[in-house]
Amino acid sequence: MKMASLWNRTSSAEIKVPHTRMEDDSAIQNIYTFMKKLGQGSFGVVYETVHNESGKKWAIKKVNREKAGSSAVWLLEREVGILKRVHHEHIIHLEEVFETPKRMYLVTELCDGGELKEILQRKKYFTENETRHIISSLAAAIVYLHKKDIVHRDLKLENILVKNYNNDNLNENEILLNIKVTDFGLAVQTGGVGSENMLQATCGTPIYMAPEVINAHDYSQQCDVWSIGVIMYMLLCGSPPFMASSEEKLFEQIKKGDLSFVDPIWNAISDAAKNVIQCLLKVDPAHRITASELLDNPWITGDTSTSVRHSNVLEMMKQFRNDPDDGECGHLNDSLNGISLNQSEDDNLHAKYESEDRASPLDTVDTETDSGSSKPSTPTKQKAQACSSQNGTAKKSAVNTKSSSTPPMTSKSTILSSYKANSLTGESRFSKLWLFSKAKFQFS
């Protein structure tokens, strides 16, 4: 038997994972003892094994190179490369890799609980507390991946393994699962955010696929968020949110995104949980919350003292447009802290729009036009147009204010009209949204 050689294939961004090339497949049996078979795929088998020296149990995925073919082997190597770059408590841990001329062996942590799908099938559905724990762990893992510009693209119950579980301090019928995201075969690492880093390949499992993926349109990491929404829905009621007799009809349902909570099981589910699902399953990814926003949602954190806030800018503008007098919109101020202006900028910009309000005839302002991107992600533009094209009441009030002795910028309608007048200027959307929110805060 030839000596095993350490094959250095790690980059500076990768975690130190031993990658060893062996000429003989039997050499690995001197290191691990293969026990029972855990699962089998088209060209691979997963075994429970024991490390001969330490006695610790591991899972080993053995892949036949010849059966897999060059394209599958390439995907496997990409999966290995991604696993070498990640280290998170809710992502499967890759311990080491062995290669022979005919096979590849991936040594990963052993998850005794099996697939989350199997547990759901036994339980029929999870309680809201159990689901909250699972979704919180899953969201934490996806936030970690997205910060590294990694998109999983195949999140589903079968690709979530259960390390272990306990029911300490819980109802005897409830369990808390320690989950691990696995199977990065379709995962990809992008170059960051921006149109040049959008994905286009249609891939994944049909019932978990986001509308933008089905449409083979440019899509981003937000496709993972949609999959989380499907998983959450299934955990709470035991069935998918969209079902049909054919794949074509299924895709049509997904693209419409019409959710239903009519099953009696939903009567016991809180409105907060349903709201989270609706936020996750927004057809337009621009309106869909991010994984990070999900992690901060009151339903996840358990903070019921505050109302659910729209952290997505488009959703905040939609809320104001639909009900500009709703006191809940006051929360917009907190959500905009990250883009707020300092006091001097606040005063200067206020004075600027006050001056413009005195000088410009508001009745001649048209709705906003945008000469920017022509890509289909235009709901952002439509939102801005909807907010800028207020009804004639604002115009009339502004004109009446001009003719009275009351100075400009002292009524809510005047500020809203100034916001409208500014829609043709080169100001950024954040500046418009600041003025938009200021009107609400000053007069609500």
Taking CB atoms within 8 Å and a gap of at least 24, the contacts of 15-19 are 15/84, 15/85, 15/86, 15/87, 17/83, 17/84, 17/94, 17/95, 17/96, 17/97, 18/96, 18/97, 19/80, 19/96, 19/97, 19/99
Q: What is the pLDDT of residues 232-264, one digit of tens each?
A: 999 999 999 999 999 999 999 999 999 999 999
Of the candidates 323, 322, 352, 365, the one whose C-alpha atom is nearest the C-alpha of residue 435 is: 352
In angstroms, the CA 218 to CA 10 distance is: 31
Helix or strand or coil: residue 296?
A: coil
Q: Which of 25, 112, 149, 154 is catalytic?
A: 154
Instruction: Say what the pLDDT of residue 43 is.
Output: 82
Matching CATH number, 114-308, of 1.10.510.10, 3.30.2130.30, 2.60.40.3620, 2.60.40.10: 1.10.510.10
Domain boundaries, the chain: 5-109, 114-308, 335-443
Specify the DSSP class assigned to residue 159: G
Whether 154 is catalytic: yes
* Residues 11 and 32: beta-carbon distance below 8 Å: no
- Could you tell me which of 34, 177, 57 has the C-alpha nearest to residue 108? 57
C-beta of residue 404 within 8 angstroms of C-beta of residue 413: no
Our measurement of the distance from residue 198's CA atom to the centroid of its chain's CA atoms, rounded to an integer in Å, reads 15
- Would you say 249 is a known binding-site residue? no
For 172-205, letters b (16+ CB in 10 Å) and e give eeebbbbbbbbbbbbbbbbeeeeeeeebeeeebb
Edge-to-edge strand list for the sheet holding 176-181:
114-115, 160-166, 176-181
List of residues 6+ apart from 250 with CB closer than 8 A: 206, 207, 242, 243, 244
Q: Is the pTM of this model over 0.85?
A: no
- Calpha distance 50→232 (Å, rounded): 35
Q: List the pLDDT tens digit at each of the 444 positions of the chain.
A: 444 444 444 444 566 899 999 988 889 999 999 999 998 887 889 999 999 999 999 999 999 988 888 888 888 898 999 999 999 999 999 999 999 999 999 999 999 999 999 999 999 999 999 999 999 999 999 999 999 999 998 999 999 999 987 655 545 678 899 999 999 988 888 765 444 444 545 566 899 999 988 887 776 889 999 999 999 999 999 999 999 999 999 999 999 999 999 999 999 999 999 999 999 999 999 999 999 999 999 999 987 554 444 445 555 555 555 555 544 444 444 444 444 444 444 455 444 444 444 443 333 333 333 333 333 333 433 433 433 333 343 333 343 433 444 344 434 344 334 433 443 333 344 343 443 443 444 433
423 Cβ partners below 8 Å, 6+ apart?
Answer: 365, 367, 368, 384, 388, 432
Superfamily of domain 5-109: Phosphorylase Kinase; domain 1 (3.30.200.20)
Helix axes 313-322, 429-443, angle to 10 degrees: 40
